[in-house]
Amino acid sequence: MIPAGSRGNGLRRPASSTLTTIPVAVSHERALPCGDPGACAIQGDLRDPHGILGHPELRAQIDLREPVVILLTAVLHFIPDEDQPYPLVDVVKAAMAPGSVVVISHATTNDLSPHAVKQVQELYAQATAPAVPRSREEIARFFDSLELVRPGIVDAACWALLLGGMERKR
Ligand SMILES: C[S@@+](CC[C@H](N)C(=O)[O-])C[C@H]1O[C@@H](n2cnc3c(N)ncnc32)[C@H](O)[C@@H]1O
């Protein structure tokens, strides 16, 4: 999560907050000698968006009353339908101030054979989170409440199996 707007003095506030479920990733980020003093890494689970949005370290870095950029990149395909991914994203969007943007990239079943999709799902069944690649229509539902920024939902630049897009809150 990154502040998107200026603070009135024309300068962008150099602050960001990174979220992961993996404790070692948080430890690694905190141990980086050249870490940005305006950055923080927090351990959290997107399935608990209120816990993330209210996290004290995040709140110390990010003022949600100001516009922010939220990157939900390559994460929503780890949240199965039974964990309500669409309402989760709605909670995140509701917390954003006008002028904020959310960027989403998501593994897609488009152009994949049912056999290939099954292979991916079987592979991730051994992992810490299941893989839930979704169709273009299913991914588009994540973008349905805000203004979609051009060029809309397109292939993410270098990841042939991801679809991505950005939407702005007015
Ligand atoms: C493929 S990496 C993407 C990392 C980063 N977002 C990016 O775009 O480079 C997937 C990340 O999603 C995180 N993740 C998986 N399930 C999650 C969940 N339920 N809540 C929060 N993060 C999750 C993992 O910890 C991992 O850091």
Q: Name the residue ranges covered by the structural domains of the chain.
A: 2-168
Q: How far is CA 51 from CA 45, 98, 142, in A?
A: 8, 21, 20
Pairwise CA distance, residues 144 & 167, whole Å:
9
pLDDT at 32: 63
Q: How many Å lie between the centroid of ligand 1 and the Cα of residue 49?
A: 14
pLDDT at 38: 77
CATH number listed for the domain at residues 2-168: 3.40.50.150
Q: How far is CA 101 from CA 1, 37, 53, 148, in A?
A: 10, 23, 16, 9
Residue 89 pLDDT more than 50?
A: yes
- Whether 131 is in the pocket of ligand 1, judged by its Cβ within 6 Å, is no
- Whether 47 is in the pocket of ligand 1, judged by its Cβ within 6 Å, is yes
pLDDT at 9: 36
Query: Of residues 48 and 161, which shows the higher confidence score?
Result: 48
* DSSP one-letter code for 125: T
- Cross-strand pairs, 105: 73, 164
